[in-house]
Chain A
Amino acid sequence: MTEWAVELKDVRKTYRSGPIEVPALRGLSLQIAPGEFAATAGPSGSGKTTLLNIIGGLDRADTGEIWVAGQNLQLLSSSELAHLRLQRIGFVFQTYNLLPVLTALENAEFTLLLQGVPARERREKVEKLFLEIGLAGLEDRRPAELSGGQQQRVAVARAMVTQPALILADEPTANLDSATAIALLDVMEHLNRTTGTTFLFSTHDPQVMERAHRLIRLRDGQIASDEAHGKQGAAVRAERDAG
């Protein structure tokens, strides 16, 4: 039986503001296999953000089960969730969100530092990754001295450097021009292929949807469609179906 990278069972989440209730997820169930390169898409209010928040342990569901890296997030305390995020999940944000006071290298090694990895090992890992994703030579630059594409690649390096089981990327290409977005997708796809790390995006970008091996369309807090793309997508689909 397959151990899913992410598994959601009948997850419900409703936001409340006084007497007003806004259902964001309505009994959503989903499995994502290890190594998938998947994207969620859908109109605003369809539940993409809430879904990523809940999978990333940044928010809690009202009911249902959320399994990530073999752990039920609903049963974890806040500090246990923080530990899980640090050890097993990488985040790539729409607006990069690098710490402006740290250099590119320091930003990339931020999570390694929090994990207590020794200095030499940190530097080796970051430099190797920087070389791989085209950031070599930019280690000492602060975010303000980098282009949007370079900043987002540093953010990807920060997310990848700890070799997490899962990377959640919220509209990672939203602030990038088309050529830079393609280059970033190349980097992420390359990392997915070479490391086997699971990627889950939320996106409005047709390029991302096209490059994703699996596209999950959401509507009104439920899955409207779930399609495999390309050879890799078909292979993953076959494996999932077999599981």
Chain B
Amino acid sequence: MTSALLLVKISWRNLWRNPRGTLLTALALGLGLALLLISLGLLDGGHEQTIADGVRLGPGHVVIQAKGYQDTSSDELLLPAQVVSTVDGFLQTGAMKQVVRGVSPRLLATGLLSSSANAAGVRIMGVMPPAERAVSLIPQRMIQGTYLNDDKLSGVVIGDELARKLEVKIGSKVVLMTQALQQPGTETKKSGGEEMHSTLLRVSGIFRTGLQAFDANIIQLPLPAAQTLLGVADGQVTQVALLLEREGDALLVARALRKQLTGAPVEVLTWRESLPMLAQILGLDHAFNYVMNAVILAMVGLGILNTILMRVLERRYEFGVCKALGLRPGQLAVVVVGESLALTAISLALGLALGLSVQHYFATSGLDLRLVFRTGLPPALVFDPILYSRLTMNRIVWSVSIVFMMATIISFYPAFKAAQTELPDALKVL
């Protein structure tokens, strides 16, 4: 055994001079790490869920649309049919098929939906039902009736807020009126110099997303019906929305599409670009959580500092004896740092056990936010009331490393104090 091993042995045994105190301290510090892991798991899980729901209610992880549409939202800006077929062909290649879960071409416009009782301005989404099912959340949020199908071109699905306003139910007739984008439709009438089209539809389904902006405004109808109504040539759409297997691939897919569509009058945007508000809100949430985590870490750090410093101050006399026997200041410091690291290692083990257990529960059973927000969920961030934790190995390694590094750095001060033990003041006997 070298003297270094002796110092390690002294450190370890010193830790168990007061087992209860050591375990309580380790438990307190472990709780800090556990809190950090739980907080990160819920944060990442919540964000992942918010992004997943946000993109499925919006333009997907990646969207291809006519150049300028993001800034102007002009319904006149359409993707040429040739671009749509190029995109479709490209996404059928092996590499893309691996990462793309769904592709949905959409034709967007504004219109007026009227029932026998009322009328409301709406956002029209012409979609291909099977494709939209793979991309959008709306088909999963039907509360009455059924979602669209290709056989029934006169069907329309609307939000429950809109249904309430129009006083319609499943099977009710509604009239959708809108301004033609290009060619005349099946039925037209002139209004203020503009060419207006209208069509009779039947409510086939009512959905509820929980977001008032969607439930009161969005309507979906089959793409051919929308194209006919808006006078748009077959194959032309406003956007192609892509849902990916992994959110992390959005940038890569967008880059590949940009390269493929070089020269075409289109813009390829990731969800961060097409939904900047959502990205900003998540960014702010991240920043807030980093501050909270810093507070947790500071509490853990102060706990370690207090414990180790008290242990050092209590043993000033003992350190004096060691120094009198020939232990050098640096070796005394090693004993203290060793103690601190051993305490930290125990704390980390407890913290990991506790944190990962709770995290596992939240990852499998979820945290029901309705129990937390009894008065209603914050609408902008959460679409699903059950929040599932998600903790990556990177996060675990990061958390453990941060706590370990912090404990090491913090132990330097008590170690310095121990090394500074003054002779003969520390020895009252000699």
The chain A residues found within 8 Å of chain B, CB to CB, are 49, 52-53, 56, 58-59, 79, 82-83, 85-87, 91, 93-95, 97, 99-102, 106, 110-111, 113-114, 116, 119, 158, 168, 170-171
Q: B3 and A116: CB pair below 8 A?
A: yes
Residues of A within 8 A of B9 (CB): 102, 106
Which of B124-132, B210-218, B230-238, B319-327 is the contact stretch? B319-327
Q: B3 and A82: CB pair below 8 A?
A: no
Q: Closest approach, in angstroms, between the C-beta of B138 and any C-beta of chain A? A: 68
Q: Closest approach, in angstroms, between the C-beta of B233 and any C-beta of chain A? A: 86
Cα-based distance from A58 to B88 in the complex (angstroms): 85
CB-based A-B contact count at 8 angstroms: 75
Partner of B325, one of A53, A110, A170: A110
Q: Which of B14, B324, B331 has the most CB of A within 10 A?
A: B324
Q: Is B310 an interface residue when CB atoms closer than 8 A count as contact?
A: no
With contacts A99-B318, A101-B10, A119-B1 taken as known, whether A170 is within 8 angstroms of B328 at the C-beta atoms is no
Q: Is B2 an interface residue when CB atoms closer than 8 A count as contact?
A: yes
Q: How large is the interface on B (under 10, 10 to 19, 20 to 34, 35 or more residues)?
A: 20 to 34
Q: A56 and B430: CB pair below 8 A?
A: yes
Partner of B324, one of A49, A56, A87, A99: A56
Q: Closest approach, in angstroms, between the C-beta of B327 and any C-beta of chain A? A: 6
Q: Closest approach, in angstroms, between the C-beta of B262 and any C-beta of chain A? A: 71
Q: Would you list 21 pairs from A and B whose C-beta atoms are within 8 A, ordered by A residue? A: A52-B430, A58-B423, A79-B328, A86-B326, A91-B325, A93-B321, A95-B429, A97-B429, A99-B318, A99-B321, A99-B322, A100-B17, A101-B17, A106-B6, A110-B6, A110-B325, A113-B1, A114-B3, A116-B2, A116-B3, A170-B429
Residues of A within 8 A of B10 (CB): 99, 101-102
Q: Closest approach, in angstroms, between the C-beta of A160 and any C-beta of chain B? A: 13
Residues of B within 8 A of A168 (CB): 430
Q: Is B427 an interface residue when CB atoms closer than 8 A count as contact?
A: yes
Q: Closest approach, in angstroms, between the C-beta of B10 and any C-beta of chain A? A: 6
Q: Closest approach, in angstroms, between the C-beta of A50 and any C-beta of chain B? A: 9
Partner of B430, one of A93, A110, A111: A93
Residues of B within 8 A of A101 (CB): 10, 13-14, 16-17
With contacts A59-B424, A113-B1 taken as known, whether A170 is within 8 angstroms of B430 at the C-beta atoms is yes
Q: Closest approach, in angstroms, between the C-beta of A171 and any C-beta of chain B? A: 8
Cα-based distance from A157 to B227 in the complex (angstroms): 100
Q: What are the 6 closest A-B residue pairs judged by CB atoms, nearest first?
A: A86-B326, A101-B13, A58-B424, A97-B321, A58-B423, A94-B429
Q: Closest approach, in angstroms, between the C-beta of A141 and any C-beta of chain B? A: 14
Cα-based distance from A97 to B324 in the complex (angstroms): 11
Q: Which of A58, A59, A111, A168 has the most CB of B within 10 A?
A: A58
Q: Closest approach, in angstroms, between the C-beta of B360 and any C-beta of chain A? A: 38
Q: Which of B6, B325, B328, B427 has the most CB of A within 10 A?
A: B325
Q: B17 and A91: CB pair below 8 A?
A: no
Q: Closest approach, in angstroms, between the C-beta of B204 and any C-beta of chain A? A: 78
Residues of B within 8 A of A100 (CB): 17
Residues of A within 8 A of B16 (CB): 101
Q: B1 and A59: CB pair below 8 A?
A: no
Q: A53 and B424: CB pair below 8 A?
A: yes
Q: A111 and B423: CB pair below 8 A?
A: no
Residues of B within 8 A of A58 (CB): 324, 423-424, 427, 430
Residues of A within 8 A of B322 (CB): 99
Residues of B within 8 A of A170 (CB): 429-430
Interface membership of chain B positions 297-327, coded 1 if the CB is closer than 8 angstroms to chain A and 0 otherwise: 0000000000000000000011001111111
Q: B13 and A85: CB pair below 8 A?
A: no
Cα-based distance from A24 to B1 in the complex (angstroms): 43
Residues of B within 8 A of A95 (CB): 429
Cα-based distance from A205 to B10 in the complex (angstroms): 34
Name the residue of chain B whose CB is nearest to the CB of A117: B3
Q: Given known contacts A58-B423, A101-B16, what 11 new A-B pairs fall within 8 Å (CB)?
A: A49-B430, A59-B423, A82-B328, A87-B326, A93-B321, A95-B429, A97-B317, A97-B318, A113-B1, A114-B326, A116-B3
Residues of A within 8 A of B427 (CB): 58, 93
Q: Closest approach, in angstroms, between the C-beta of A88 and any C-beta of chain B? A: 10
Q: Closest approach, in angstroms, between the C-beta of A82 and any C-beta of chain B? A: 6
Residues of A within 8 A of B328 (CB): 79, 82
Residues of B within 8 A of A87 (CB): 326
Residues of B within 8 A of A85 (CB): 324-326
Cα-based distance from A97 to B17 in the complex (angstroms): 16
Cα-based distance from A228 to B204 in the complex (angstroms): 119
Residues of B within 8 A of A94 (CB): 429
Cα-based distance from A58 to B236 in the complex (angstroms): 93
